[in-house]
Amino acid sequence: MKQIFLTAACAAALGLSAIACGSGKQSDTADADSVATPAAGLLSSLTDVVANGKVVFGHHDDTAYGHDWQYEAGRSDVLETAGRYPGLMNWDLGLIEYGDSVQLDGVPFEFIRAEVRAQDERGGINAISWHPRNPVSGGDSWDVSAAPVADAVTDGTAVNDTLRAWIGRAADFVASLTDADGRRIPVLFRPWHEHTGSWFWWGKDHCTPEQYKALWRLTREVFDARGVDNVVWVYSPDRIAAAEEYTERYPGDEYVDILGADAYHFGGEEGTDEFRARVRLQLDAAKALSDKNGKIIALSETGLEGLGMDHWYTEVLLPLLGEYPVAYVCVWRNAMSTVKPGHFYAPYKGHSAEADFKAFSDNDKILMAGFVGK
């Protein structure tokens, strides 16, 4: 990813958060008010994407496994159906907090590190989500039997100490993502996502708005203290009943770079109108905030599990993308059929939606790998 130099005015020009504009290392050749960071370069690329009316297509765990394979060098269900790798690949850090060698779906962290580099080399970008364990109960992210956020954001508590250590491990991993020349690779980082629902322990029924905002501030505090300069921060609510819910827990412009929205299509054909309405409500709210603070927006996580609609990509997703200036869209993973049958979001070779997906990926609006100049 090309690095660029930004003046002190970059926050106004790009809507970039404080770390990317003001807390990266200054270049020896730059003026005192200019900084260059990998994060700034990535956000600049995505700003250009929006300005040109394009959308980057993304897929979770794309090269780790697919419908009937896993860890086969170079394989990708998207590559085999679209003819190109996705423009964005998403990876998850769940279990990095424990210092494990593999994440929650069994993908080795060393594999992720190598694939982040490979995606960067092919002219694509990378995103990272994080499903950390519950620091009180020890259960997974979906274990809401204990509500740890209040203690986690209170200095001096044992839970605060634990979470600081966990965030530090995530920060160290992100900082370790480098290209062949040792330069940090920029990534989109989407922590504490889908917080407007209550299925995660950081969700709305398990902490107050102020406690949630403090969780973001704590996360940034730990990342910033380690000098992590290759993160573009993505805020991504899920279901909301009104636009006000989108901003109720927004941590502030200085902590966020991209205004995302997570929204899944449930109920097959019959659920299409509801899906469209939910996406529009969320992206309308994101766009309204964007109009005030200049930040770009994204459909950060979406999809129709099992693709029971053969024309979902061209008849449902693509028209929605045409309604909003979104920088990228990311669908979820293609689990192996022997591990989780029917759990896939991009078609695989031979699937009935393959031709539709190829038409979607070939549309002039959609960007696949290679869109970033190297």
Residue range 158-184: mean pLDDT, rounded: 98
> Of the given ranges (22-31, 230-239, 273-282), which has the lowest mean pLDDT?
22-31
Q: At what angle do helices 158-175 and 209-225 cross, to 10 degrees?
A: 50
Q: What tokens were used for 192?
A: 């504490």
Residues 259 and 297: beta-carbon distance below 8 Å: yes
Mean per-residue pLDDT for 251-257? 97
* Torsion of the alpha carbons at 33, 34, 35 and 36, rounded to the nearest 10: 180
Please list, in sequence order, all residues whose beta carbon lies within 8 angstroms of the beta carbon of residue 196, skipping any fewer than 6 positions away. Answer: 203, 204, 237, 238, 239, 240, 245, 246, 248, 249
Give the single-character DSSP code of 170: H
123: left (phi over 0), alpha (psi -120 to 50) or beta: left
pLDDT at res. 373: 72
What pLDDT band is residue 374 in, cutting at 50, 70 and 90? low
User: pLDDT per residue over 67-85, tens digit each?
Assistant: 999 999 999 999 999 999 9
* Residue 308 pLDDT > 80: yes
What mean pLDDT do residues 158-168 have?
Answer: 98
The model's confidence at residue 9, banded by pLDDT at 50, 70 and 90, is very low
The answer to whether residue 19 scores a pLDDT higher than 50 is no
pLDDT for residue 27 is more than 80: no
- Which pLDDT value is given to residue 98? 97
Domains contained in the chain, CATH given: 51-367 (3.20.20.80)
Q: What are phi and psi of 163, to 5 degrees?
A: -65, -35
Q: Specify whether the CB–CB gap between 295 and 252 falls below 8 A.
A: no
* DSSP letters for 13-62: HH---HHHHHSSPPPTTS-TT-B--HHHHHHHHHHHHHHTT-EEEEEETT
Residue 6, pLDDT > 70, answer: no
Q: In this prediction, what percent of the chain has a pLDDT beyond 70?
A: 90
Neighbours of 291 (CB within 10 A): 9
Q: Where are the alpha helices (DSSP H) in the chain?
A: 10-14, 18-22, 38-51, 77-82, 109-121, 149-152, 158-175, 209-225, 243-248, 272-293, 312, 318-323, 354-362
Average pLDDT, the chain: 92
8, pLDDT greater than 70: no
What number is the average pLDDT over the span 212-227? 98
Confidence bin at 36 (pLDDT 50/70/90) = confident
- Token pair, residue 216, equals 């973001």
Count CA atoms closer than 13 A to 42's CA, side-chain side: 28
In this model, does residue 251 exceed pLDDT 60?
yes
pLDDT at position 260 over 80: yes
pLDDT at 112: 98
pLDDT score at 191 = 98
Report CA torsion sign: 45, 348, 73, 339: positive
- Residues 87-101, mean pLDDT to the nearest whole number: 98
287 or 11, higher pLDDT? 287
Q: Which two tokens stand for residue 171?
A: 């920060």
Q: Can you tell me the mean pLDDT for 160-183?
A: 98
Contact between 164 and 171 under an 8 Å Cβ cutoff? The reply is no
Mean pLDDT score, 156-178 = 98
DSSP code for 100: -
What confidence score (pLDDT) does residue 335 get? Answer: 98
pLDDT at 20: 47
Are the C-beta atoms of 194 and 238 separated by less than 8 Å? yes
